[in-house]
């Protein structure tokens, strides 16, 4: 591939780069669908988080509120990664080689939550 050094723009859409043409092209939906809508969702979820933290949260509902916060955070992460970082529209191979290794984080999390509970019970309980 590196041998194809011809390097010019063939008008709109198809470009030939130093290391070959890019087969996959970018336009998926309008700017509203790709950028504005995810942005509105991020703003709304963040605003809801502030509302919950300042108005709804109290000593009695703390656990339920904290779980809600984590779920909202994961939804926001989904919007950033799939739309802003465009991962939703990438090839399957790229998508899964990024998403699958994240399971190791879940594994570490489970491991350390168990350890944290044990430490709490030993030191405090």
* Binding footprint of other proteins on the chain (CB under 8 A): 1, 3-9, 15-17, 19-24, 26-27, 31, 34-35, 39, 42-43, 46, 49-50, 53-54, 66, 69-70, 72-73, 76-77, 80-81, 83-86, 90-91, 93-94, 97-98, 101-102, 104-105, 108-109, 112-113, 115-117, 119-120, 123-124
* Dihedral (Cα; 19, 25, 31, 37), 10-degree rounding: -100
Nearer to other proteins by Cβ, of 60 and 70: the residue is 70
Strand boundaries in 71-121, DSSP class E: none
Q: Is 83 exposed, middle or buried (0-12, 13-18, 19+ CB in 10 A)?
A: buried
């Amino acid at each position: 591939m590196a041998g194809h050094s011809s390097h010019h723009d063939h008008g709109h859409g198809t470009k030939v780069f130093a290391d070959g043409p890019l087969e996959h092209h970018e336009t998926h939906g309008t700017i509203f669908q790709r950028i504005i809508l995810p942005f509105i969702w991020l703003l709304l979820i963040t605003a809801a988080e502030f509302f919950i933290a300042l108005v709804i949260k109290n000593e009695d509902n703390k656990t339920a509120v904290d779980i809600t916060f984590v779920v909202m955070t994961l939804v926001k992460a989904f919007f950033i990664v799939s739309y802003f970082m465009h991962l939703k529209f990438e090839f399957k191979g790229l998508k899964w080689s990024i998403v699958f290794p994240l399971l190791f984080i879940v594994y570490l999390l489970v491991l350390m939550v168990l350890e944290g509970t044990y430490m709490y019970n030993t030191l405090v309980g």
